Amino acid sequence: MGNFSLYVDNGTWLNKMHPYTKLLYILAAICIPLIGGKLWLFPLMILCSICLLACGRTLKRALPLVAFSFTLIVVIFLIQGLFYHSNENVLFKVWILTFYKEGVLYAAHIGLNILNMLLSFALFVLTTSPQELVEELEKSGFSPKFGYIINSVFQIIPQMMKSKDTIMDAQRSRGMETEGKLLVRVKALFPMISPVVMSSLINTRERAIALEVRGFGRKNKKSFLSERPKHKGDRAIGAFLVLLIILVIVWRIASCL
């Protein structure tokens, strides 16, 4: 059974960093704008994530997430800009649609928060090996079952995408039209759903059997084939991120006094 994930090993310093340091970055990227309460903090953290993705040479792979989030953000802007309960001041009009300042600002907070979270999680997923993350969790005392769940979350989407592509190729070889107008694509979608679901269930069963054969449920202490060397920047970056969070908390408390 293949091992699929979104992880890309480009040999950059981000790949060598400890998974916990990158998890701490996610925490900082999400908490700093929310605690700070300023709209400009969201674009700042988004820019940081984009720069880090570029440094890790994974920016191109994160673009589909950005495209998906923009679709969602547009819907949020339409709904909140038009129907937000605190709408009072008209910002602009488009034909018969009236957008209000309060709704647009509220939508900006939600939309930028979504984009910020997606990019920070994308940085973690694209630069962190699932196997390495699971090993570090188990070394820290977490249950192997918890590690298995995390590993499954990382792999389920790539596995289903791989199965979908394989099944789509098989359907094309049988003469089924899968490209063209929207209606043609919708018709091709339904015959594909059942094989993809069944393939996922079969993969789950095979994985359960493989884990049982390897003694997954044993209570003995596990040993590991290799020890991960610590990256020299882990401690400094971790301390910097914690310091940033503390400074933002202090700044918010001081601004409220």
The DSSP result for 190-217, as a single string, is: HHHHHHHHHHHHHHHHHHHHHHHHTTTT
Between CA 131 and CA 145 the distance in angstroms is: 13
Chain-centre distance of CA 82, in angstroms? 29
pLDDT at 6: 75
Q: What does the block give as tokens for 215?
A: 């003694």
* pLDDT score at 245: 94
According to the model, what pLDDT value does residue 30 have?
94
What are the sequence ranges of the domains in the chain?
13-217+233-256
Confidence (pTM): 0.76
Query: Which segments within the chain are labelled E, that is strand?
Result: 90-94, 97-100
Instruction: Summarize pLDDT for 84-139 with one digit per residue, the tens.
Output: 888 888 888 888 888 888 888 999 999 999 999 999 999 998 998 888 888 888 78
Q: What is the pLDDT of residue 1?
A: 42
Q: What is the pLDDT of residue 2?
A: 44
- Tracing tokens 């079952």 back to the chain, one arrives at 145
Q: What is the pLDDT of residue 68?
A: 75
Which among 108, 106, 102, 109 has a CA at the least distance from the CA of 87? 102
Name residues of the chain where pLDDT drops below 50.
Answer: 1-3
Angle at 166 between CA 10 and CA 175, to 5 degrees: 140
Report how far residue 245's alpha carbon sits from residue 35's, in angstroms, rounded to the nearest whole number.
Answer: 9
pLDDT (0 to 100) of residue 162: 72
